[in-house]
């Protein structure tokens, strides 16, 4: 097939876990996605040293100083293979508050109390939720499924709907239902469709299409989405709405690609997002450790820079902020754990 050069570079399975606080609607969500081929010898050594329990980031962090140098180094090398996805609502909040301030020409401290309450309870939640969805891969998938401007691929019962106000994004907003689910969907959908956001993969796709007469974004996205069908995405159980929404997008994408004769997978190929128990899945525990570590780094004053230096790639609010080349650092033993 014409996308084989891309698929040969894609992992068959990836495992993702999230770090977040549910109570605060403005708290960042940090998702870590690890390739299925990662070496887990460090994980089994950690399990033995920490008493055979289910490994979580806080447990590893608390015992980190007591671990041997070699084990710490092996752990860090493995974690650095992760793709980190960050959804930070505070950046959307800052953007809309700056816009309001510039429009009414009054600093936030001088806004009338009723207006400030309306901004907090209505404007900000709506703007942030829609901003996360617009920046998510779902927005680009919607463009791909529209194709001729009429058909949306049957996502959420949308199929040639005459209602111009009804889109995949508006349906997702209603289905997910609250800011926490939307934040989590933003992070998990970026993990599930990371192949759409990778500039290196996009450049390779364009190279494959250079001999064609007409090339547009939908054609490139179709190539990347076809390649992504060869990846199994595994998430920790506990938020079925987000995983179901991702699986529904994958189903619609697959149907459209098959209709265009641009996808051929063997019968029984696993490809959609699924949930598994972290208690029974070591790679999900490894992803939990990674997400917690990335969250700790992101909380620092130079947080984004620290995360970008530490991991293979980083996506912030739907955009890749560095390339896939891992930045090596000499202080591999330093976990930079703050008390």
pTM over 0.85: no
Has residue 148 got a pLDDT over 70?
Answer: no
Does residue 72 contact residue 335 with C-beta atoms inside 8 Å?
yes
Query: 295-301: long-range contacts at Cβ-Cβ below 8 A with a sequence spacing of 24 or more?
Result: 295/19, 295/20, 295/28, 295/30, 295/57, 296/61, 296/336, 296/337, 296/338, 297/336, 298/28, 298/30, 298/86, 300/338
Instruction: Provide the phi-psi class of 75: left if phi over 0, else alpha when psi is between -120 and 50, else beta.
Output: alpha
Q: Is the pLDDT of residue 210 over 70?
A: no
Q: Answer whether residue 144 shows pLDDT above 80.
A: yes
Q: What is the pLDDT of residue 198?
A: 82
For residue 9, the model assigns a pLDDT of: 42
Residue 261: pLDDT band with limits 50, 70, 90? low
Taking only Cα atoms into account, the Rg of the chain, rounded to an integer number of angstroms, comes to: 21
Is the per-residue pLDDT at 42 higher than 90?
yes
């Amino acid at each position: 097939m014409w996308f084989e050069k891309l698929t040969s570079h894609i992992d068959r399975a990836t495992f993702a876990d999230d770090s977040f606080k549910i109570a605060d609607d403005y708290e960042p969500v940090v998702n870590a996605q690890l390739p299925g081929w990662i070496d887990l010898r460090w994980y089994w050594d950690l399990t033995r040293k920490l008493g055979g329990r289910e490994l979580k980031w806080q447990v590893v962090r608390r015992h980190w100083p007591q671990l041997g140098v070699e084990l710490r180094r092996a752990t860090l090398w493995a974690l650095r293979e992760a793709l980190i996805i960050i959804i930070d609502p505070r950046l959307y909040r800052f953007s809309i508050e700056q816009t309001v301030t510039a429009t009414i020409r009054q600093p936030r401290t001088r806004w009338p109390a009723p207006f400030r309450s309306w901004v907090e309870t209505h404007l900000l939640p709506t703007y942030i939720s829609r901003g996360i969805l617009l920046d998510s891969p779902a927005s680009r998938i919607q463009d791909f499924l529209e194709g001729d401007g009429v058909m949306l691929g049957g996502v959420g019962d949308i199929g040639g709907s005459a209602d111009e106000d009804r889109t995949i994004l508006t349906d997702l907003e209603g289905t997910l239902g609250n800011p926490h689910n939307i934040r989590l969907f933003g992070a998990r959908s970026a993990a599930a469709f990371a192949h759409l956001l990778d500039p290196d993969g996009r450049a390779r796709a364009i190279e494959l299409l250079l001999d064609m007469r007409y090339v547009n974004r939908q054609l490139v996205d179709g190539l990347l989405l076809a390649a992504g069908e060869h990846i199994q995405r595994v998430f920790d159980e506990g938020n079925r709405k987000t995983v179901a929404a991702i699986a529904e997008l994958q189903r619609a994408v697959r149907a459209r690609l098959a209709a265009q004769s641009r996808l051929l997978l063997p019968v029984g190929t696993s490809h959609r997002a699924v949930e598994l128990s972290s208690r029974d899945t070591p790679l999900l525990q490894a992803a939990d450790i990674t997400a917690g570590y990335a969250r700790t780094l992101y909380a620092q004053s130079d947080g984004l820079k620290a995360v970008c230096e530490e991991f293979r790639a980083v996506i912030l609010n739907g955009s890749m902020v560095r390339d896939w080349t891992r930045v090596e650092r000499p202080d591999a033993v330093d976990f930079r754990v703050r008390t």
